């Protein structure tokens, strides 16, 4: 389909060729920045997309121009029919990838290889086992750490996502950088973002500039190499001279990258979200079940996308709690 006419091209000329599909609202961790302390009200099972519905919607998006799909959640690997879903999606002509907390990813190495997954994004917010427990409320640090090493041994490209929170794990910035010395991973610092129920406060977000300042105090300008960012990359990428890995900063709060945005999200209950921060959603699953054509719904959703963070143009707009409460919790969006 011609890009200009595609339902995936918005009024600012951004073409959304990258679909993130959330497979579940459930998780085997309870990261404080993602899962509200009291949990979330889960959608009834019959309101969630089944494997064939996921495939059917994904196939339509591929027809519109999607060429990259990332599976996320919740934790995508807790879905019992994960093998069926990824095998179906691997028949589409897309770059297929996954974001996981790595707790059980070792059970799926062969499946991931067979279905063409080359890059995996793993969440790890600390290199300290006790702190891992205090952030995630589970004792899986050793498993996750070992699985990151296993993924590298198995030949996967590994990106590690760490949400930095002031007073929680911001004292580990240099430890994370040191980790890239002998490990060929792409380590990504993510600015803590506000979502429903995650107790966000502006002062808890550690900014891009603060992270860079810390690194610049410990490495010389000659050692810090600014790398070329990939097209549509949300991260600003760097490496330390001589280190095997790289590091990057995803600065959604202080330096948004919305003008480059090519992402669109499908929630586990089949709703389309045109932005991580959008309050409005479009129900594709009900339309599919009613045998309605979803093209006009997709077109309407994409064409109503705001220029910046669903209308939260300035950083101050985050201060208004209503902005986050009208959005979902991250666990039910799919990052």
Contact criterion met (CB below 8 Å) for 159 and 122: yes
Sign (positive/negative) of CA torsion 99, 77, 199, 266?
positive
Exactly one of 10, 18, 66, 73 binds ligand SAM (CB under 6 A); that residue is 73
Q: Does residue 330 bind ligand SAM (CB under 6 A)?
A: yes
Q: Does residue 193 bind ligand SAM (CB under 6 A)?
A: yes
DSSP sequence for 44-112: PGGGS--HHHHHHHHHHHHHHT--EEEEESS-GGG-TTHHHHHHHHTTSSSEEEEEE--SSGGGGHHHH
Exactly one of 6, 9, 24, 72 binds ligand SAM (CB under 6 A); that residue is 72
What does 192 interact with, of ligand SF4, ligand SAM, none (CB < 5 to 8 A by kind)?
A: ligand SAM
Rounded-to-integer distance, Cα 75 and Cα 108, Å: 14
Q: Applying CB under 6 A, which residues contact ligand SF4?
A: 27, 29-31, 34-35, 73-75, 101, 123, 331
Sign (positive/negative) of CA torsion 138, 139, 143, 148?
positive
Q: Does residue 33 bind ligand SAM (CB under 6 A)?
A: yes
Q: Does residue 310 bind ligand SAM (CB under 6 A)?
A: no
Rounded-to-integer distance, Cα 236 and Cα 243, Å: 17
**CA–centroid distance for 249 within its chain:** 14
Q: Does residue 190 bind ligand SAM (CB under 6 A)?
A: yes
Please identify, using beta-carbon distances, which residue of 10 and 191 lies nearer to ligand SAM: 191
Q: Does residue 327 bind ligand SAM (CB under 6 A)?
A: no
Question: Minimal distance in Å, beta carbon 102 to ligand SF4?
Answer: 9
Please identify, using beta-carbon distances, which residue of 14 and 265 lies nearer to ligand SAM: 265
Q: Does residue 163 bind ligand SAM (CB under 6 A)?
A: yes
Contact criterion met (CB below 8 Å) for 82 and 117: no
List of residues contacting ligand SAM (CB under 6 A): 27, 33-34, 72-73, 75, 99-101, 123, 161, 163, 190, 192-193, 195, 198, 330, 335
């Amino acid at each position: 389909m011609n890009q200009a006419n595609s339902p995936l091209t918005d009024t600012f000329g951004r073409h959304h060729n990258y679909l993130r599909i959330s497979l579940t609202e459930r998780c085997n961790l309870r990261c404080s920045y993602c899962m509200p302390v009291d949990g979330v009200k889960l959608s009834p099972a019959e309101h969630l997309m089944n494997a064939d519905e996921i495939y059917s919607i994904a196939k339509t998006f591929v027809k519109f121009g999607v060429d990259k799909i990332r599976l996320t959640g919740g934790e995508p690997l807790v879905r019992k029919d994960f093998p069926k879903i990824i095998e179906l999606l691997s028949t589409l002509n897309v770059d297929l990838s996954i974001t996981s907390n790595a707790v059980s990813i070792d059970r799926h190495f062969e499946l991931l290889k067979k279905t063409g997954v080359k890059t995996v994004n793993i969440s790890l917010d600390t290199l300290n086992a006790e702190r891992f427990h205090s952030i995630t409320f589970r004792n899986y640090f050793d498993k996750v750490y070992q699985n990151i090493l296993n993924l590298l041994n198995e030949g996967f490209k590994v990106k590690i996502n760490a949400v930095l929170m002031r007073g929680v794990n911001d004292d580990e910035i240099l430890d994370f950088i040191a980790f890239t010395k002998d490990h060929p991973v792409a380590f990504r610092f993510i600015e803590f973002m506000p979502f429903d129920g995650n107790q966000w406060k502006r002062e808890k977000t550690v900014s891009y500039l603060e992270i860079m300042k810390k690194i610049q105090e410990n490495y010389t300008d000659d050692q810090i190499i600014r790398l070329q960012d990939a097209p549509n990359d949300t991260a600003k990428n760097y490496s330390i001279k001589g280190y095997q890995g790289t590091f990057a900063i995803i600065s959604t709060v202080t330096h948004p990258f919305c003008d480059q945005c090519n992402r669109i999200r499908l929630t586990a209950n089949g709703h389309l979200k045109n932005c991580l921060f959008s309050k409005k959603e479009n129900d594709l699953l009900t339309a599919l079940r009613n045998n309605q054509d979803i093209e006009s719904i997709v077109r309407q959703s994409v064409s109503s996308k705001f220029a910046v963070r669903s209308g939260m143009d300035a950083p101050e707009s985050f201060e208004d709690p209503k902005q986050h409460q009208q959005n979902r919790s991250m666990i039910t969006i799919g990052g």
